[in-house]
Amino acid sequence: MPITRAVERNSLSLPSSPQKSYNISSHLSTQYEDADSMEEKRPSKRTSDSPRKNSGSVQKNATSASTAAQPSRRQFNHDALPPTRGRSNTDVQSTMSASNNIKQQQANIGGSGSDKTVNHNYHSHPPTGVPSKLKCMLPTTACQPGYVTPSKLFNMMGYGLENQYLFMLAHYLYIIDCRSREKFNESHIITAIHWEDALNGTVYISIVERFSEIILYDDKGIFFNTTTEMRRVYNRFATPGTKACLTLSGGFEAFRTFFPFICTQTDVRSTVDREKFLTIYPSVVIDNQLYLGTGHQATNWKVIRDLKLTHIINISVEHQCVFPDKIKYLHLQLEDMEDVLLKDRFDETIRFMDSAFQNPSNRILVHCNLGISRSTTLILSYLMKTYNATLLEAFKYLRHRRPIVCPNVGFLRQLIDYEFELFSHAYSDPNDPIFH
């Protein structure tokens, strides 16, 4: 990827929707916990793509009619789905409270800061009586334990713990540059601190405990061939009782190749500086191809330009398609409600994406309002169809890249129906806790 501009001043795109309010205060930083390198607890609350418009029963007439037409084909009981929960948008403080219970979520998806490979052999040895299927072909990531890929770090900088705007707080990620001072001053990952400043007590051990992740990087990031400076930093911050440090795979050079717009000469540390200099980007689903994000990101030209987006799938009634002269759109004006028949638009969406990807330089952003339910459902259907993935395989893959994804119960049922259509068997269990 060619080098583009560094992050600009006043480029922050914060939500302007009246239904959300972000009240950020300094005491919240003490509540951070390890989001990827430790096993996570399930959050007690989730956000949704849009304000809840219907908190009634899961059994909606439209969906019931669809499933009733094929009673003999179902090998699972839709009535066994848990009751609908009234999910609603939350502010940062409630999200931070939820983050204290997030460990179990990542444990369920087998994820860690080291960007573990998705288990694509989930159905290689199915139980007796369960038909086998072709191997899942979802992209895998070759990354050693204790390392994090550039795309994983980029996503961590975007999705926060359970809320994408937490990166604005100064104690979310502690990124330490272990290169020379000269190289650091020339360009570094935004918000990074030079290793000499870290060792000289600019940030004390007691404060480091507040961070969710500690990331170290040098020039190349070669596996198990760290520099003397990196070993000194690691030994300082990896003492008993502190968090394990993660190393950036490929180092600064690899990160700058993928994300040059996240590199800067500016020293950005405090919350005030972050609000001036940072832009929150969509999550990478497939490198240099597919992204999942919010409506506000889709209307921010800096995001469009930096990611070199060419196509946008807008599945919302909250946001307009604002760049029709520069971007090719597919606009599905649907709400985040359990009885919306989103499954009827799967084929149309997949054709749109397949057509775009015929040109390797094209890049697609799929968004709804918050990038949690509607857009997640469409991307899951694409991954299932294109990569021969069951719903569970596709969901684990996607949640590892964006932990806040969570289709509503009606969309989940439609995805399980779609799985049956693709593979003539329902491999995924709708009652699996990972979906809820």
User: pLDDT digits over 409-421, tens only?
Assistant: 999 999 999 999 9
Q: Is the pLDDT of residue 145 over 60?
A: yes
Domain extents in the chain: 1-6+29-41+111-280, 281-436
**Confidence band, pLDDT 50/70/90 cuts, at residue 372:** very high
pLDDT of residue 222: 77
Measured CA to CA, the distance from residue 337 to residue 342 in angstroms comes to 10
Q: Is the pLDDT of residue 237 over 50?
A: yes
281-436 belongs to CATH 3.90.190.10: yes
pLDDT of residue 383: 98
> Of 130-144, 210-224, 237-251, 256-270, which has the strongest mean pLDDT?
256-270
pLDDT of residue 199: 86
pLDDT of residue 345: 97
Q: Which of 136, 245, 263, 368 is catalytic?
A: 368
pLDDT of residue 144: 81
**Confidence band, pLDDT 50/70/90 cuts, at residue 114:** very low
> Of 11-15, 100-104, 124-128, which has the strongest mean pLDDT?
124-128
Percent of the chain with pLDDT over 90: 47
**Confidence band, pLDDT 50/70/90 cuts, at residue 25:** very low
Taking Cα atoms as reference points, which of 269, 203, 183, 196 lies closest to residue 232? 196
**Confidence band, pLDDT 50/70/90 cuts, at residue 169:** low
State mean pLDDT over 199-211.
63
Q: Return phi, psi of residue 176, to 5°.
A: -115, 120
> Of 54-63, 237-246, 408-417, which has the strongest mean pLDDT?
408-417
| Better-scored residue on pLDDT, 133 or 364 | 364
State mean pLDDT over 12-35.
36
1-6+29-41+111-280 belongs to CATH 3.40.250.10: yes
> Can 368 be counted among the known catalytic residues?
yes
**Confidence band, pLDDT 50/70/90 cuts, at residue 244:** confident
Phi-psi region for residue 115, left (φ > 0), alpha (ψ -120 to 50) or beta? left
For the whole prediction, is pTM greater than 0.95?
no
Residue showing tokens 């996240």:
262
pLDDT of residue 239: 66
Average predicted confidence (pLDDT) for the chain: 75
Q: Is the pLDDT of residue 93 over 70?
A: no
Measured CA to CA, the distance from residue 174 to residue 176 in angstroms comes to 6
pLDDT of residue 96: 38
| Better-scored residue on pLDDT, 25 or 110 | 110
- The amino acid at residue 260 is P
Q: Which of the residue ranges 41-55, 152-166, 273-287 would you say has the lowest mean pLDDT?
A: 41-55
Summarize pLDDT for 303-331 with one digit per residue, the tens: 999 999 999 999 999 999 999 999 999 99
Summarize pLDDT for 343-366 with one digit per residue, the tens: 999 999 999 999 999 999 999 999
